[in-house]
Structures are given as C-alpha cells and as structure tokens.
Amino acid sequence: MSRVCDICGKHKVVGGHITRRGLAKKKGGIGMHVVKNVKRTFSPNLQSVKAVVDGTVKTLKVCTACIRSGKVTKA
C-alpha cells in the first residue's frame, strides 16, 4: 500500500536531520559545529476514511489537511 493521499496526492518526501554540538556564539561559546547529517523521510499523516464518492461509499486514504479543509464528505 502506498503512502499517498487519494485527494491531493501528498506523499513521502526526503529531507535531513542535522546534529550540532557546541555552545552558540551569542551564549559565549565558539559556535555550533555540525557533527552528523542523516537522511530521513517525512510521511504525511494519512487516515483511512469512509467517504462518499459519486454516490457510493468508499474507503480512502486521506491526509488530515484534506479532512480539515472539508475536501472529503464522510459517510
């Protein structure tokens, strides 16, 4: 099963998490230094929702942004 919203097409995106060490310059240190840079994925918040589509009830995987904005009529 794919992690894609059936309404807007929102899907996983790849980003990074940067780990820093040290005391910031404005706090009296010599500055923050990058220790590690790790790839990670950001997943959409998908929910299984029973919705009315063309007069019939179907189960859709919908992101919470679409549910909140009213793009889905729940059954």
Tell me the mean pLDDT in the region 48-75.
95
Q: Cβ atoms within 10 A of the Cβ of 7, count?
A: 18
Q: Is 45 helix (H, G, I), strand (E, B) or coil?
A: coil
Helix residue spans in 1-75 (DSSP H): 64-69
Residue 2 confidence (pLDDT) = 83
pLDDT (tens digit per residue) in 6-56: 999 999 999 999 999 999 999 999 999 999 999 999 999 999 999 999 999
7 domain residue, yes or no: no
Evaluate whether residue 4 is within a structural domain.
Answer: no
32 within some domain: yes
Alpha-carbon span 49 to 59, nearest angstrom: 6
- CA dist., res. 66 & res. 36, Å (int): 35
Domain total of the chain: 1
Q: Which helix (H) or strand (E) holds 38?
A: strand 33-42
Q: How far apart are alpha carbons 10 and 3 in whole angstroms? A: 8
Residue 3 belongs to a domain? no
- Classify residue 40: in a domain, yes or no: yes
Model pTM score: 0.75
Q: What is the pLDDT of residue 1?
A: 58
